[in-house]
Structure 1
Amino acid sequence: MINSPFTRWEGDELHGRRPVLTSVWVHLDILFPRPADAPRHVIETGLDLTGVVRGRLHGRFPSVEGDWYGVVNYEIDYADGRREKSHLVDQLVPFIALRERR
């Protein structure tokens, strides 16, 4: 697990420490933009990189230019509707692609 300087922790040394997880929405259309004029080649077994998925934010980093990136775990569905998902762990996601889930 990536621990950022801004990771918040809960628990103690006796019982164990764990990062505080914040529920977020990950906007895949923002994270993986596709140019409007890009040709489409549909792959039915590919990942569906559109829409919004649930994520768990557990850290953050600023960039040298002042943008913020969250350390997020999230899952992406396959386009063919299978039950299994691609599990992505400790991904740096720009804050513009994240919204807190309430």
Structure 2
Amino acid sequence: MGLNSPFTTGEGDDVHGRRPVLTSVGVSLDRLFARPPGASRHVIATGLDLTGEVRGRLHGRFPSVEGDWLGVVNYEIGYADGRREKLYLVDQLVPFHMLRKRG
């Protein structure tokens, strides 16, 4: 069961079931996990690689009180050492300006 947003677009019907429409997006990890200017750096070779853009699936949205939109996104983050398994993040709130629609 995923996070249910009143702003989620659904498809299907009551007979066959409804499901959220998934939109392919790119998640900018560099911007989402921006480091503070001047922060010291300590490289951990087995840590998460929080650089670049990763593929995500947008399946909901919420407005903030100030009118900014947050997407409900599932995405994966890889490890710096290149291992095959990834950290799979489900139902993450991500500001829309950190997302890019993918074709």
Q: What is the TM-score normalised by the length of structure 2?
A: 0.96
Q: Give RMSD over aligned pairs.
A: 0.7
Letter in 1 for 2:89: L
Question: What is the CA–CA distance in structure 2 between the aligned matches of 1:17 and 1:67, rounded to whole Å?
Answer: 27
Provide the residue aligned with 1:6 in structure 2. Answer: 7
Provide the residue aligned with 1:72 in structure 2. Answer: 73
Measure how far apart 1:36 and its partner are. 3.2
Task: Identify unmatched segments of 5+ residues in structure 2.
Answer: none
Provide the residue aligned with 1:15 in structure 2. Answer: 16
What does the per-residue CA deviation read over 1:41-84, in whole Å, with 9 as the maximum and x for residues that have no partner? 11111100110000000000010011110000000000000000
Given that 1:30 and 1:96 are in contact with CA atoms closer than 8 Å, whether structure 2 keeps it comes out as no
Q: What is the TM-score normalised by the length of structure 1?
A: 0.97
Question: What is the CA–CA distance in structure 2 between the aligned matches of 1:26 and 1:8, rounded to whole Å?
Answer: 20
Provide the residue aligned with 1:32 in structure 2. Answer: 33
Provide the residue aligned with 1:53 in structure 2. Answer: 54
Task: Identify unmatched segments of 5+ residues in structure 1.
Answer: none
Measure how far apart 1:3 and its partner are. 1.0
How many aligned positions are there?
102
